């Protein structure tokens, strides 16, 4: 059961004096459950290293194939390669069909959202964003 946290909730030095050992224990249990095991951390480090090596080889090919204009905002110079289908949703890490040139701000802001959903957000914020050419065809 998630513990509702408020100012000083469950803390020993709570000025209101509402320290509850049960709440403090539950908060500690939740923090421990979120921690990675050493094996999980090592596996994640290995994956990230593999991804960065692949990205280093693929990025020049992406720019050569698609140009250097950001595929999302169509305004900025691309400095990163973005995954059309995010890795977290099963996208391929080393397939040119799944990679597009992207400026860093769009790449990081998009996260793992759908490209069209993100582009609609961009158009709402910045009405002068050009409609994208068909990157999927």
pLDDT digits (tens, 9 = 90+) for 84-128: 998 878 888 888 899 999 999 999 999 888 888 888 888 888 776
Q: How far apart are CA 50 and CA 44, in angstroms?
A: 10
22 vs 95: CA distance, rounded Å: 50
- Greatest mean pLDDT among 16-25, 70-79, 118-127 lies in 70-79
Indicate whether 4 pLDDT > 90: no
Give one DSSP letter per residue of 37-67, joined into a string. Answer: PHHHHHHHHHHHHHHHHHHHHHHHHHHHHH-
pLDDT (0 to 100) of residue 64:
93
CB 73 within 8 A of CB 106: yes
pLDDT at 68: 92
pTM (2 d.p.):
0.59
The values of phi and psi at residue 69, to 5°, are: -90, 135
DSSP state of 77: B
Residue 56's pLDDT is what? 80
* pLDDT higher at 136 or 85: 85
The pLDDT score that the predictor gives to residue 75 is 84
Return the half-sphere exposure (C-beta side, CA atoms, 13 A cut-off) of residue 104: 1
Contact 100, 66 (CB under 8 A): yes
pLDDT, tens only, 31-68: 887 787 888 888 888 888 887 787 788 889 999 999 99
pLDDT at 137 over 50: no
């Amino acid at each position: 059961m998630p513990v509702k946290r408020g100012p000083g909730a469950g803390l020993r030095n709570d000025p209101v004096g509402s320290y509850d050992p049960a709440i403090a224990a539950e908060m500690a249990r939740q923090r421990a459950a979120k921690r990675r095991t050493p094996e999980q951390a090592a596996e994640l480090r290995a994956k990230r290293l593999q991804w960065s090596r692949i990205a280093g080889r693929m990025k020049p090919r992406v720019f050569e194939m698609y140009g250097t204009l950001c595929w999302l905002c169509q305004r900025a110079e691309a400095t990163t390669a973005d995954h059309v289908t995010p890795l977290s949703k099963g996208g391929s890490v080393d397939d040119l069909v799944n990679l597009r040139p992207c400026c860093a701000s769009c790449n990081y802001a998009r996260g793992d959202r759908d490209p069209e959903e993100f582009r609609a957000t961009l158009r709402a914020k910045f009405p002068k964003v050009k409609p994208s050419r068909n990157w999927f065809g």
